[in-house]
Amino acid sequence: MEETKLNMPLLGDNFPSMSVQTTHGPMNIPGDLKGSWFVLFSHPADFTPVCTTEFVAFQQKKPEFDKLGTKLIGMSVDQVFSHIKWIDWIKENMNVDIEYPVVAANDSIAMKLGMLHPGKGTNTVRAVFVGDPHGIVRLIIYYPQEIGRSVDEILRAVKALQTHEANKVATPENWPNNAILGDRVIIPPATNVKDAADRKGKADCYDWWFCHKKLS
């Protein structure tokens, strides 16, 4: 039996180029998203309870993603007709307008992103890809089908990535609500003996390799 080969981009890779059909019409990803951060998230199937709660949550947080210049794109291997009908159902029953495009992926597209698992049938997994304005993959999160995602965590991660890019700093656990540093950020460690010695004993340094600061 021929082994099914799974492919997926890794962190720092270019997001695979693909031409897709969406509920907003044809789209080239990541070409049409150039200059913007984006979050592409796949779901197992339309008309399923967990996915419905996720789609509503992404829409409710869309204004916050918009403020970050970040575009949302949903995806599954359901046909675009199914996506349209499901979006209509969400509007009618949840009173929520899904304003972001939803990709009707085929198996080839889903395999490019590692979204199809041979042991899980034809449903796509709950994958999240965050891409930067250059189309580079910056974050990947995979969830099992039975566990819904935290849209707040995805939003937090985008903010953290953008903060890193703008300030060349790292962010601590659960930033900006870290139990030790609060909303402070971590500056790169010293890379020479002199700088390491200068940092010792400073108020904003636990040690030469662990210094932090408040963003202005």
| Residues acting as catalytic residues | 51
CB 101 within 8 A of CB 73: yes
How much is the CA Rg of the chain, to the nearest whole Å? 20
Sheet holding 137-143, edge to edge: 25-29, 18-22, 102-104, 70-76, 37-42, 126-131, 137-143
Local structure of residue 116 (DSSP, 8 states) = B
What is the separation of C-alpha 173 from the centre of its chain, rounded to a whole number of angstroms? 17
Q: How far is CA 158 from CA 38, 95, 128, 169, 196, in A?
A: 9, 27, 12, 14, 31
Q: What angle in degrees, to the nearest 10, is found between the helix axes of 151-167 and 49-60?
A: 40
- Which H or E run contains 104? strand 102-104
User: In DSSP terms, which residues pair with 37 in a beta bridge?
Assistant: 70
Tokens of 48: 């399923």
